[in-house]
């Protein structure tokens, strides 16, 4: 195992080259001996031992390509990770899996849709996988926490991102499954998130997109899923909201339009076996996930950060004031005051039932 770790962690040796070297030379040990001749410098044995020790301290398990518990769907993509760190219940990745991705600056309506879809998919026996990002990812994880959800990290298994989702990550690690391709201690960089997305897509039989702008990481995940033969689904939204442009493009180009979980279950019925219920939601308690702290505001007053949070949660689809307060982690009084200012500025309009929406410009 030490030799495999050293080969997998050698700078410049990605998944494809890793497997090419092992296949050509017969073993990780033989590949390590040949690396200097190819201009590569593998890490020391001690470095690999330290990674194993760190995983053990964290309660995580290294799962290698070819192991019985390596996710079968992930093993079939073009460039599967040679090893992933797993924290939690690996059986969740063996069940039928659906990925859900979307906007980080998701509207309150989009987050509600993600939670409802994820909860219904979990009740139907599916595991929901996402990337632990703000917005749609976090909402999908919350909705599926009771039935089982998988979070794929771009950094190390001890470096969930963003920090605001730390409590959600802890709940997933305890009740679901977290996976990381990079070693413990690794802080994700911008280029690591698309690589994370290929794992999200690779684990799933289908990918659901909710609120994705015309150019977004969610569309990368959808493209990777399509290239690997997975089904792509998209939830339609208001054409007045640019967060829906990418999803609408996907639908125009052949993605399945989704308005309820049954649309996904029926579309995947022919490609997977009838999903068994992995862990019935009603049979076990689920750790309560405290909301992330609200954005800091200077002098204890509502500042531009909180107003930006409120505007981000608003869209052309009307939502209730109470839901806005809950999504933005603000008091009802603070939301009411900001909505009044926005209404006077011509930014929002009121609807019956204590609902508001953003006026598109």
pLDDT over 70 at 292, yes or no: no
Distance CA 216, CA 31 (A): 38
CA dist 350 and 183 (Å) reads 50
Checking if the pLDDT of 113 tops 50, the result is yes
Q: Which residue in this structure is represented by tokens 């599926």?
A: 144
Q: Measure the CA–CA gap between 316 and 137, rounded to whole angstroms.
A: 21
pLDDT for 209 beyond 90: yes
Q: Which pLDDT band, with edges at 50, 70 and 90, does 358 fall under?
A: confident
pLDDT tens, residue by residue, 2-56: 999 999 999 999 999 999 999 999 999 999 999 998 899 999 999 999 999 999 9
**What are the tokens at 129?**
């996988």
């Amino acid at each position: 195992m030490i030799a495999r770790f050293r080969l997998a962690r050698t700078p410049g040796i990605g998944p494809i080259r890793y497997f090419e070297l092992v296949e050509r030379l017969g073993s990780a040990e033989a590949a390590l001996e040949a690396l200097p001749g190819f201009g590569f410098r593998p890490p020391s044995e001690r470095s690999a031992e330290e990674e194993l020790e760190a995983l053990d301290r964290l309660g995580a398990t290294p799962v290698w390509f070819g192991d019985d518990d390596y996710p079968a769907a992930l093993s079939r993509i073009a460039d599967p990770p040679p090893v992933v760190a797993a924290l939690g219940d690996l059986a969740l990745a063996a069940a039928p899996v659906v990925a859900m991705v979307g906007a980080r600056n998701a509207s309150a309506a989009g987050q509600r849709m993600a939670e409802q879809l994820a909860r219904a998919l979990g009740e139907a026996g599916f595991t929901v996988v996402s990337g632990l990002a703000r917005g749609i990812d976090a909402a999908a994880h919350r909705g599926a926490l009771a039935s089982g959800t998988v979070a794929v990290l771009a950094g190390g298994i001890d470096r969930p991102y963003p920090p605001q989702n730390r409590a959600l990550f802890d709940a997933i690690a305890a009740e679901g499954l977290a996976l990381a391709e990079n070693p413990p201690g690794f802080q994700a960089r911008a280029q690591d998130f698309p690589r994370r997305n290929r794992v999200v897509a690779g684990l799933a039989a289908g990918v659901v997109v909710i609120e994705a702008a015309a150019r977004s990481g969610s569309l990368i995940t959808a493209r990777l899923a399509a290239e690997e033969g997975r089904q792509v689904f998209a939830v339609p939204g208001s054409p007045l909201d640019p967060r829906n442009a990418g999803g609408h493009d996907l639908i125009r180009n052949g993605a399945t339009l989704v308005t309820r979980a049954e649309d996904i279950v029926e579309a995947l019925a022919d490609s997977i076996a009838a999903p068994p219920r992995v862990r019935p939601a009603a049979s076990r308690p689920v750790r309560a996930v405290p909301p992330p702290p609200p954005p800091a505001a200077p002098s204890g007053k509502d500042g531009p950060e909180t107003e930006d949070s409120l505007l981000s949660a608003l869209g052309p689809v009307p939502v209730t004031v109470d839901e806005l307060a809950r999504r933005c982690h603000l008091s009802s009084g603070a939301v009411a005051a900001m909505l009044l200012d926005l209404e006077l500025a011509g930014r929002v309009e009121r609807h019956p039932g204590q609902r508001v929406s953003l006026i598109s410009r």
